[in-house]
Every structure is written in C-alpha cells, then in structure tokens.
Amino acid sequence: MSNNLQGKRILITGADGFIGSHLTEMLYTQGAKVRALAIYNSQNTWGWLETSPKEIIQDIEVVNGDVRDSFFCQKITQNIDIVFNLASLIAIPYSYTAPQSYVDTNINGALNMAQASLQNNVERLVQISTSEVYGTALYVPIDEKHPLQPQSPYSASKIGADAMAMSYYNAFNLPVTLARPFNTFGERQSARAVIPTIISQIASGKTMIDLGDTSPTRDFNYVLDTCKGLISLLNTEKTIGEVVNISSNYEISIGNLFEKIKTIMQKPEVQINQDAQRLRPKGSEVMRLWGDNTKIKNLTGFAPSYTLDEGLERTIKWFLNPENLKQYKTNIYNV
C-alpha cells in the first residue's frame, strides 16, 4: 500500500478534525506528500494537527481556508493527485438549529471540491459520507443498497453531498469514490459523540453520567481502522463510481457500551442520568445501525484490525492524560 502512495500529492480537507488529523498522519507515514486544509481562523490554529508529531507537521503543507469558497477550492486542488474531502459540519444537534450552515458547508463544499477536482484533473476524489444517511435500519446488516432516509438536517445534507459528488462521476467521468464510514471513535473525537461523552465525564470524576437515549445500537469503528479503510479504497480502480461502507459488521447498544466503558475504567459505581436536552426528536433518532462490510472486503481486502475493546482501551488511555482531558468541558452539553 505504501508503495502506491509514495510521492503521491494528496489533499485532505477537514485535516484539522478528528478523523482528518489521523488520516493526515497515516498518509504521511506511507510516503505521501500531504496538503492539509484547516478551517480559516484569525488565530491561524490548525485544530488537532497542533498535537501531531513535530516531524510530521514540519514536513506537510498546512493551509487555512474554507471549502465553501469555490475560488479557494480551485487553488488548493492544483498539482494534487488525490483528494479526501472530509470537510464537513457533523454535529447532529446543531443541525436542528443551524441547518443552512450544513447545506453551505456539506453540499456546496462537496460541489466546490468536485468541480475543482475536475478542472485540475485530480486522479481520485474520495468523498466522505456517513452511515447516518441510512437512517434507522430497514434491514441488517446495512449494505450499500439500503435506502437513504434523511432523519436530520445533517443526514439530509450528507445525502445531498453524496449525490453531488456522484453526479460528477456520472456526468463528467470524475473518478469519485463515496466512502461511508459507520460510527468512528478514538483519540481527539469531539465530546458531542457518545464515546468521548461517557469517557470524559467518568475521567473528570463524575459518578452520574448525562446521556440521551441508551437504546439505539451503533456499529463502532476505531479511528485507525477507518483511516486504513479510506486508504484501501485507493488500491483498486474497482472502487471508482462506487459507494463503499467502512464498518465492523457488529452492533452494540449505547447502554451496553456504557457498561463496557465503565468496566474497562474500573468505575462500577457510575450510573446514567437521562438528560432530556440530549434526546433527539422522536422521528430523528436513528435507532439501529449495523453495517455490512462485505463490499470493501471484496474490493480491497480491507478488514478492521482493532476490536471494540482494544479501541476503547486506547481511547480511554488518551483521555486519562490530564493534558488531553482539559480540552473537554465535561460540565457543559456541547451540541
């Protein structure tokens, strides 16, 4: 795999985020020449890339900007072989109050990156989707032919982004692959996600953990597996024009996940408080996600390397570092 990427010029949008920062590091270690896009801000901060090893940061090109600007997208895709478009607004609760911003970033951003990739003759555009587009499972495991159900403005915007990117494959023969990860977790993840929510509250000393509905099930994937899955899509042209799940083919309820985490953290006294503000509207909650990973195995040979327990142990170890934990406001519900 590393030989395929040696010297390849790769642009990662959303490189300052959770998955993007891990993907940046992994691609760098495999010999790629990485251009990493962080969202423009007046402090010129690079998000989670600030915590990357110095030898990596010194050797990649970090740029600040915004995929909502088509002129900027044209510029950053020049002299690029491969684009991973991870730039996205992803918090579901915030999409209830600011849906227009999700259209602007997720759909228009996907359009801008597809158009820029086409005009600059990019070899491959990997558009990052989400399992949320499937909505509550109509059958399990969920394969790539499962109907799409917009149960939140966020999922609607990602359905739109997927369709926009794939339209460029169909209309203009742009080499697009739609990567559809199920629930990724790991070091650096935002506290609006359930695993960091549980771990950070327990690590901060709380014995009563605020959560929403604990009955939904999810298919969790450790972040390094998600990144390996994304990179595996480049190994074959058979993934061009395809939608490909990245999943573990395993589901667990949030309630059972909580029990597993508190056992690993050796905190048997910790209990759940159902926080009303964390509950999604009834028709918006996705009750069941369990992803079929047969397609990615058949096309690329990829299979997850980490079990859920192994991923949780690594994630918990990271959160127990006081320098990491202090970046989380465990007493505030962050949408």
Helix H or strand E encompassing 215: none
Is 75 part of a structural domain of the chain? yes
Grade residue 74 by pLDDT with cuts at 50, 70 and 90.
Answer: very high
Is 210 part of a structural domain of the chain? no
Is 65 part of a structural domain of the chain? yes
% of the chain at pLDDT higher than 70: 98
Position of tokens 């597993």?
A: 260
Grade residue 334 by pLDDT with cuts at 50, 70 and 90.
Answer: low
Cis amide bond preceding 141, omega within 30:
yes
Q: Which amino acid is at 134?
A: Y
Supply the pTM of this predicted model: 0.96
Is 123 part of a structural domain of the chain? yes
Is 298 part of a structural domain of the chain? yes
Q: Of 284, 257, 246, 282, whose CA–CA distance to 144 is shortest?
A: 246
Q: In which domain, by residue range, is 102 found?
A: 2-186+221-251+290-305
Work out the burial of residue 272: count CB atoms within 10 Å of its CB; fewer than 13 is exposed, 13-18 middle, 19 or more buried: middle
pLDDT at 333: 66
Question: What does the alpha-carbon distance between residue 268 and residue 256 come to, in Å, rounded to a whole number?
Answer: 13
* Tens digit of each residue's pLDDT (9 = 90 or more) over 28-65: 999 999 999 999 999 999 999 999 999 999 999 999 99
Highest mean pLDDT among 151-165, 201-215, 265-279: 151-165
Report whether pLDDT(174) > 60. yes
pLDDT at 212: 87
Question: What does the alpha-carbon distance between residue 320 and residue 311 come to, in Å, rounded to a whole number?
Answer: 14
> Who has greater pLDDT, 98 or 331?
98
How many Cα atoms sit within 13 Å of 168 on the Cβ side? 27
Helix H or strand E encompassing 84: strand 82-85
Cα diameter, the chain: 58
Is 199 part of a structural domain of the chain? no
Report whether pLDDT(2) > 60. no
Question: What does the alpha-carbon distance between residue 192 and residue 185 come to, in Å, rounded to a whole number?
Answer: 12
How many Cα atoms sit within 13 Å of 66 on the Cβ side? 11
Is 262 part of a structural domain of the chain? no
Is 80 part of a structural domain of the chain? yes
Report whether pLDDT(1) > 70. no
Helix axes 194-203, 254-264, angle to 10 degrees: 40
Position of tokens 């964390």?
A: 278
- Kindly provide the residue ranges of all beta strands, DSSP E only, lying in the chain, ordered along the sequence: 9-13, 33-39, 61-65, 82-85, 124-128, 176-181, 183-185, 208-211, 217-218, 220-222, 243-246, 252-253, 271-274
DSSP state of 280: P
Q: The CATH number of the domain where 36 resides is what?
A: 3.40.50.720
pLDDT at 4: 84
pLDDT at 3: 52
* Tens digit of each residue's pLDDT (9 = 90 or more) over 85-94: 999 999 999 9
- The count of domains in the chain is 1
Grade residue 264 by pLDDT with cuts at 50, 70 and 90.
Answer: very high
**Average pLDDT of the chain to the nearest whole number:** 95
Question: What does the alpha-carbon distance between residue 242 and residue 170 come to, in Å, rounded to a whole number?
Answer: 11
Question: What does the alpha-carbon distance between residue 43 and residue 16 come to, in Å, rounded to a whole number?
Answer: 14
